[in-house]
Every structure is written in structure tokens, then in C-alpha cells.
Structure 1
Amino acid sequence: MEGQLGNHQVAVDLAAVSFIDSTIINLFIETRNEATAMDRSFVVASPSPPVRRVLGVTGVLEFLTGSG
């Protein structure tokens, strides 16, 4: 398709992050929803164990990472 810039993917590496709160989680959810609406990809990659736990407890781990 002419004018198409290609496949745009964003992965946020959280391997070195030890804490996130609801502000960041909401930002990630909004960003993923906006990316999806524009046929783009946004994922949280390599969440550290404490971040993985928070994402799991809040029920968004699979939604943001694509894994369980």
C-alpha cells in the first residue's frame, strides 16, 4: 500500500523497574488501546518480578505482555 510506513511496534522493557503504580498502569493501558486503534503494537516486555506481580494482581499482565 502506497504511503504505508510499515509495521510499527513499541515494546517497553521493564526488566530494571522495581515499582509501578496505577498511574503507569493506566498510561500503558491507554497507550496500548491507542496503538491497537491505529493498527500498531504496544507491549510491556520483560517485567521484573515485582512489576509482573503488580500487573498480575491488577489483572492486566496478559493484556499488556501477551503472556500469562
Structure 2
Amino acid sequence: MSNPRQPGTQGSSPKTLTSERIAADIAAFNKAGGRIEVLGNTPFQRKPDAAEIAKGPAAERSPK
């Protein structure tokens, strides 16, 4: 089986994927025992709880 992503191989250009090629790649992945791990969402901006808000940067800037 040729790999179109490697130079010097037969087939269409490396950027052109056909549904048949994708189906063949998925079948080979499954046949080899491949598994896809599904990860959960990672919130990038977490909302601070009330205790963190109370002792936040404003509390550090209060006059002495």
C-alpha cells in the first residue's frame, strides 16, 4: 500500500484525499487495534469561587 504523504510514491497529490482513501485508512487503523481516546472539555478561563474573590488582588492592594 503506497503512502501519498511520502515523496516518490504513486497516487494523487498529498493534499488530495478521497473518501475511499479515508475509508481505507480508518479500516487499517481499526484492524491494527487502534482506539481513539475522547477527552473532556478543559475550561480555559475558570471562574473563581467566592473565597478566591475575597482574598484576591484587591485585598493585597489595600492600604496598611
Could you state the TM-score of these two structures normalised by the residue count of structure 1? Answer: 0.22
More strand by share: 1
Work out which of the two has the higher radius of gyration on C-alpha atoms and give 1 or 2.
2
Higher fraction of helix: 1
Normalising by structure 2, report the TM-score.
Answer: 0.23
